[in-house]
Structure 1
Amino acid sequence: MEKVASAAAISLALFSSVAIAGETVKIKDITGREVEVTVPVERVILGEGRQIYFTAALDTDKPFGRVVGWRDDFKKADLDGYNIYLQKFPEMEKIPTFGGMKDGTFDIEQAVALKPDVIIMNTEAKSATEESGYIEKLAAVGIPLVYIDFREKPMEHTDDSMRIIGKLFGKEERAEEFVKFHDEQIARVTDVLAKQADLKKPVVFMERAGGYSDDCCMSFGNENFGKMVELAGGINMAKDFIPGTFGNVNPEQIIASNPDQVIVTGSNWELYVPGGKWVGVGPGADQTEATRKLADLMTRPAFTDIKAVKDGNVHAIWHQFYNSPYQFVAVQQIAKWLHPDLFKDLDADRTFQELHTRFLPVDYKPGYFASLKTGS
């Protein structure tokens, strides 16, 4: 698994010493900023509701115990997951919610009133945060802001982001246990592929949130799901057309590239696009309905005559793998779709279930994947 040169420096900064309770330490966040924080933090504002994915992996018994405020996206972006957590932790509905830094609806006065020890933000909000002067305004009242990243360059930053949060929460050992599991599960794919001298790599088109709108088609460059495809032994079709992490590919390019496999990301977006054409894979999803909607998406002009559709190599995968520390599950499932003979004994559902058993406070419910090819 690739690492940038700065990763070692970040890890060294994080683990040069173990903080004493109530000690003010300098933490280097994922952007390289040095931030003074008194740890372990007891009051946290999550810059995105879906950051509960990592909070739950560290504060498993009380995933909302430190959370005094969070962005309002969890329910909208992952309704099925939200409801599973709500059933076990009804108190989460009482946590104050915020708009986003990026869309300019974050209420800084409300945040200050909640007296957080730290605000955790995704790197995608960095430009908006800096332009608005939020960091300086928060610093003036003694509230540090720390950046982590599970979206822009997740395959590069997930381990160090988990270590940063472990340091903040006083859960360094738990964070290391998660990182070890994360890396071991990716190695179950990459180690096998590394031994294949003449690996035939299929061309894969990853469609981001297919059916969310009528536009065609959002995709991924050489990061996020694009990088997951490469790690899983495929060729990300869109990497030559999208310079950054996210972008668009026009229908004519999909037809011309004639991909061997198509993978569409989806989730339950009923609160975003009621009755939409999106594929609602996720915890406990209706597989028959997911497959029906996936097949319907393949009737669009960009897809009807391409090789992937003719061969039935069309799949759907839970969109939220793109914004959580759980990407290793996606890498395993994609590898099995691309190279079924090499990974006949690999079971991504079982891996995800083990993650839930070891790290998460809610029970596992399958439904995160769908395929038009029977048995895949």
Structure 2
Amino acid sequence: MKFLSRAALAATVYATLAATAAWAGDMVTVTDITGRKVEVSVPVERVILGEGRQIYFTAALDTDAPFKRVVGWRDDFKKADLDGYNEYLRKFPEMDKLPTFGGMKDGTFDVEQAVALHPDVIIMNIDAKAATEEAGYIDKLAKVGIPLVYVDFREKPMENTEPSMRLIGKLYGKEDRAEDFIKFREEEIAKVTDVLAAHPDVKKPVVFMERAGGYSDDCCMSFGNENFGKMVEIAGGINMAKDIIPGTFGTVNPEQIIASDPDQVIVTGANWELYVPGDNWVGLGAGADKKEAARKLSALMDRPGFTGIKAVKDGNVHAIWHQFYNNPYQFVAIQQIAKWLHPDLFKDLDPEATFSELHKRFLPVPYESGYFVSVNYGG
């Protein structure tokens, strides 16, 4: 009986979609970030976000009403960025009632639930592609007229952020808004790259980027030549793990940190109270307690692999909001990293002001400090 009800549901939804296709919008073919050609009726009015944190880019386009198209989303936003979730919840309490999904990669995405919500499109992150294809979700959704597109702000964000924003702008009917965002992003990155280009002989410090330090007892997750690893390079540093980790993400051991003796350490962190309650992670995000974040960051430097290295001895230890790794705001992170690595060159650069300006121009919530922290040991 359950199988029949699902089949009946799918048939009903398909008939509804077919009947409304003619007036729902213009049918266009878009190219997603993987190169797939996908037919979508635009502007879309009903969207399922394959990750809750995709509200970061949705809010930059649908600033006045960021949830107006969202009919369902993955349940990760609250868990992965509790401070950010609460920031949005205060202004948009209705978001707490949106239907939530599990993930493609962990096999908990519910296709029947998605079909019942009548979405015009499902937006997935590229890291879910293998699991999506293995489960045959694209074909299942296509049979009931629901297109799926991939975007990427995580695997190769410096390469894929602009085309991803253009794709979403096309889907939302907000192409001009997307171009405004892209222009702002380019201008802010240029405030770093132009200065470095004018000082080609500047010494580049070796930087160890620790991904989610303190999230677990293991040491240490990091980044290869992408994501935060690429941001370090753009900001005028040398990513310590570039030649150790072959892909975007990986691990290094304490002995490799000691041998490399990095000049700077930058740890990513967020409020992960719902993932790992009361643990050693550095809680950063909107309105975070910087004093508590600095205390936790300092404690992380007592682990094997960090005690005695140059960065700790010289007082060049920092933490940055983890979620810069998965949204289109990476240019703020690039500015902050550049300021840490080259304080003399970038003494007039103000990443906090940049992030505040981003909020004023593109986001529906006011800027609250709490995304960066440093600890100094003297030296």
TM-score bracket relative to the smaller structure: over 0.9
In the alignment, structure 1 residue 193 sits paired with structure 2 residue 175: no
In the alignment, structure 1 residue 150 sits paired with structure 2 residue 147: no
Question: How do residues 131-280 of structure 1 correspond to structure 2 at under 5 angstroms?
Answer: 131-280=134-283
Amino acid at match of 1:49: G
Q: Distance in 2 between matches of 1:119 and 1:319?
A: 25
Match in the other structure for 2:27:
24
Query: Which one of 331, 335, 342 corresponds to residue 334 of structure 2?
Result: 331
**Structure 1 residues without counterparts, runs of 5 or longer:** 1-19
In the alignment, structure 1 residue 319 sits paired with structure 2 residue 322: yes
For the structure 1 residues 26 and 149, does the alpha-carbon distance in structure 2 shift closer, same or farther, using more than 3 Å as the test? same
In the alignment, structure 1 residue 309 sits paired with structure 2 residue 312: yes
Determine helix, strand or coil for the equivalent of 1:55: helix
Determine helix, strand or coil for the equivalent of 1:238: coil
For the structure 1 residues 21 and 198, does the alpha-carbon distance in structure 2 shift closer, same or farther, using more than 3 Å as the test? farther
Match in the other structure for 2:18:
none
Q: Distance in 1 between matches of 2:24 and 2:359?
A: 29
Match in the other structure for 1:11:
none
Q: Distance in 2 between matches of 1:155 and 1:250?
A: 27
Query: Which one of 107, 114, 117 corresponds to residue 117 of structure 2?
Result: 114
Q: Distance in 2 between matches of 1:31 and 1:171?
A: 21
Amino acid at match of 1:372: V
Match in the other structure for 1:67:
70
Q: Distance in 2 between matches of 1:333 and 1:292?
A: 20
Amino acid at match of 1:176: E
Query: Runs of 4 or more off by more than 3 Å in structure 1?
Result: none
Amino acid at match of 2:69: R
In the alignment, structure 1 residue 360 sits paired with structure 2 residue 369: no
Q: Distance in 2 between matches of 1:283 and 1:87?
A: 12
Q: Distance in 2 between matches of 1:199 and 1:135?
A: 49
Amino acid at match of 1:206: M
| Aligned Cα root-mean-square deviation (Å) | 1.1
In the alignment, structure 1 residue 50 sits paired with structure 2 residue 79: no
Deviating more after overlay: 366-375 vs 245-254? 366-375
Query: Which one of 33, 39, 43 corresponds to residue 40 of structure 1?
Result: 43
Q: Distance in 2 between matches of 1:229 and 1:368?
A: 17
Match in the other structure for 1:127:
130
Higher Rg: 2
For the structure 1 residues 256 and 374, does the alpha-carbon distance in structure 2 shift closer, same or farther, using more than 3 Å as the test? closer
Amino acid at match of 2:105: K
Deviation sequence 1:252-285 (CA, Å, 0-9, x none): 0000000000000000000000001000011111
Deviation sequence 1:296-353 (CA, Å, 0-9, x none): 0000011001000000100000000000000000000000000000000000000000
Number of matched pairs: 356
Q: Distance in 2 between matches of 1:72 and 1:222?
A: 29
**Structure 2 residues without counterparts, runs of 5 or longer:** 1-22
In the alignment, structure 1 residue 298 sits paired with structure 2 residue 301: yes
Query: Which one of 339, 342, 354 corresponds to residue 351 of structure 1?
Result: 354
Deviation sequence 1:227-272 (CA, Å, 0-9, x none): 0000000000001010000000011000000000000000000000
Report the TM-score when normalising by structure 2.
Answer: 0.93
Q: Displacement, 1:199?
A: 1.4
Determine helix, strand or coil for the equivalent of 1:362: coil
Q: Distance in 2 between matches of 1:164 and 1:361?
A: 21
In the alignment, structure 1 residue 100 sits paired with structure 2 residue 103: yes
Q: Distance in 1 between matches of 2:376 and 2:354?
A: 22
CA contact (8 A) 2:67 2:95 kept: yes
Q: Distance in 1 between matches of 2:313 and 2:141?
A: 55
Q: Displacement, 1:45?
A: 0.1
